[in-house]
Each structure stands twice: as C-alpha cells, then as structure tokens.
Chains A and B, each alone.
Chain A
C-alpha cells in the first residue's frame, strides 16, 4: 500500500472515529431491544388485525344486516373491505422492488393475504391453502411453497412444541422456538438441512387465530432461493390478516 493509500485509510478512520465511539453502544441497545429483550415480553395481539373499533362496528352491521335479504347481499364478501390490488415495495437485500399484489381470500373467508400473482398462485385445498410458483420448478429444485393452515382447537403454545418435535426429524439443526413480531406476531421455527445451494429451508410461523386455535404458516424453499422466494414469501405474509 502506497503512502497515499495509507493517508486515505487513516483519514477515513480518523474522521469516523467519533461515530464509532458514540454510536456503538446505542446501536447495540436498540438491536438488543428489538431482537431479544422485546421478544421476551408476553405475546401481544397481532398488530395487523383490524382495529377493535372497526371489528365492533363490522360486527354490529353484520348483526343487523344478516337478518334481511338485502343484508346478505351487502355482506357478500369480507373481501369487499380491502382493496383488490395494491403496489407494495419489497426490500430484497435492501433493494426496493415495487410489486403489484392481489387480494386473496383464505379458506372460508377466515383470512386474507395479498399475493404477488406475477410469480405465485394460491391453491385452495380441503384443509389448507398453498401459495406456490405459477409454473412448477424443474425437478432438481426442492419444493417452493407457503402453506396456510388453521388448527381450530390447538393453542399456539402447545402446537409449536409439537411441530418442533416433528420438524427435528428432517431438520436436526432446527433453531429453538423464537417469538417474533415480523412478518407475523407469533412463534417461529427455522430449519436448514444442509449448507449447499439446494439445502432445504423451512420457516414455520404459529400464530393465534384470535380464538382457541392457531394458524400455521409453513414456508418451504431452498438455500439459494432464500433471498428470492424466501424474502417474497415473507413480504406476502406481512399482509396476512385474520378476519374475525
């Protein structure tokens, strides 16, 4: 390194020294609060649920209007309460990516989610709904999907422990259960089979259904697709709303 290189290096270090000393602890405190201290608190109600006042108002309207034929027509779909499509900004590795997403209604209208329909489709099943790539991936790629399933009688605290035991069979290095607030508020399990490009990744979120049961969202993808499909699943899941 030439003297000039040394001079640039030294100058940059000297001019940023004060920021390192003054910010380092503050930054850690925020990170610690966000990742660890905050997550130890009791699980709050999912913040993206409709506000209580809106739910109460909707319930009142339902109570009155369902008694009449016109009322039935009026409440033909809870979907009407949400815009059918919107543009969101997805952050993929910090790069903003504008994406148009479309409203999809879950099984029995119990939830809604906005789906990036330029890449994915939602398949509604008997027991669960699955969001997967529009065109099936070639065989060499592991499964890429996000399943949303409701367990009406299983509380999240118990269910997540059961799922943890089951997942440990295929994912021996499964992370310990964490409480998270993003992309949904609930419990999170994360596993990876191996650190190769096609290593299978699983993210399982277990959240309260607002009553006595749970919703389980299972994301499956592979390591190389983590920053693509994995990040996009996470963004779609942020739009997940339970309809009470």
Chain B
C-alpha cells in the first residue's frame, strides 16, 4: 500500500517521499481544516503544523494502527487548539459534552454549507470528517476521542437538522 511505503520512507528521512505524501494528503487536509476553523489563515497554520509534526514525530506513529485517523487526530486537535487560542471563551472545548445542536440561528440561512457551519462544533466536526474524508463512525470516534455511539448519535442529529432546514416538508426520504 502506497501510504505504508511513504510512512516507511519518511521514517528513514526520505524528503521526496514526504513531498509525495504531502501532494496526496494536502487537499483533503486543507478542506478539513478550512471547514473546521472557518478561517483560511487558521486553516493554513493548522495544516502546516500538522505536516511538520507528522514529519518530526513519524516515529511516534504505531504502524499496526490505521494511519489516517492518526493524521486527522493531529490535524483536528491542531485546528481546535488554534480556534481556542483565537476565542478562548467559545464552546470549542465542549466536544465531549452534548451542547445544544445549533450554535447560531438558522433563520437567515439557505445555503447548505452555511447551515452546516451554523451547527455547534460537537455536531459540525463529525459531519465534516464524515463527508470530506469519508471516515467511518469508529474512525471519527477515534479521531475525536469519543464513544462510537456518541458519534453515531451526533451524525444522526446533525444530518436530521440539515435536512429539516433544507426540506422541512420531506422527511420521509431523509436516510
């Protein structure tokens, strides 16, 4: 598998392999960071720091475990750290709790992206991880340090809320 080869070569300090790895992973990583932070500069910093950490700390990756959740755990934590630094009084650190579903009023929102971004972080971030990178509930639970059932419930509620907002009269074909 290509990703295993990259990891092995990066461990050995192969810069070309690291560049190839960056080319393959940068796109989804930028998308994820951009969607999570809702801020281009913050996303840039988070992605930069994540790749630098991965290169320097590749020795701490356990190759018997899947690589992508490890990578995205670092990326997500970095995004959350930067968001917390920018607005220390926000509700970002409540990922483990179950805050209200909606962070802002949906009243004026018609675009799906805006509606997603109006969800609170605990519902919004699992959705982003699921739809940008295609992670499973178990992988999202691993990345965010949550129980798998909690992730399942939050994905369900998040999607339900999106659907209700977009098509309030057609709930029967929601899932």
Contacts and interface: CB of A to CB of B under 8 A. Distances in A.
Interface of A: 2, 4-5, 7-9, 11-16, 19-20, 22-24, 26-28, 30-31, 34-36, 91, 93-96, 173, 175-176, 178, 182, 190, 192, 195-197, 201, 203, 223-224, 226-227, 230-231
Contact of A4 (B30, B63, B81, B163): B163
Contacts, number: 131
B162 A8 contact: yes
A223 B44 contact: no
7 tightest Cβ-Cβ pairs between the two chains A and B: A94-B77, A226-B60, A16-B31, A19-B34, A195-B63, A15-B113, A11-B112
Contacts of A11: 111-113, 116
| A contact patch SS | helix
A27 B26 contact: yes
A9 to B, nearest CB: 5
Interface string B49-93: 001110111011111100000000110111011000000000000
A24 B162 contact: no
Interface residues of B, number: 51
B173 to A, nearest CB: 8
A94 B81 contact: yes
A12 B116 contact: yes
A19 to B, nearest CB: 4
Nearest to A183: B56
A94 B76 CA distance: 8
Contacts of A30: 48
Nearest to A175: B13
Given A27-B47, A31-B48, A36 B34 contact: no
Interface string B1-38: 00000000001110100110010001100110011000
B138 interface: no
Contacts of A34: 48, 52
Nearest to B82: A94
A28 B43 contact: no
Interface string B86-117: 00000000000000000000000001110010
Contacts of A203: 59
Contact of B73 (A19, A93, A195): A93
A19 B59 contact: no
A8 B30 contact: no
B152 interface: no
Contacts of B62: 195, 197, 223-224, 226
Contacts of B60: 223, 226-227, 230-231
18 contacts: A7-B112, A8-B159, A9-B131, A12-B113, A19-B43, A23-B30, A24-B26, A26-B44, A27-B30, A31-B48, A34-B48, A91-B81, A93-B77, A94-B81, A190-B59, A195-B62, A196-B64, A226-B59
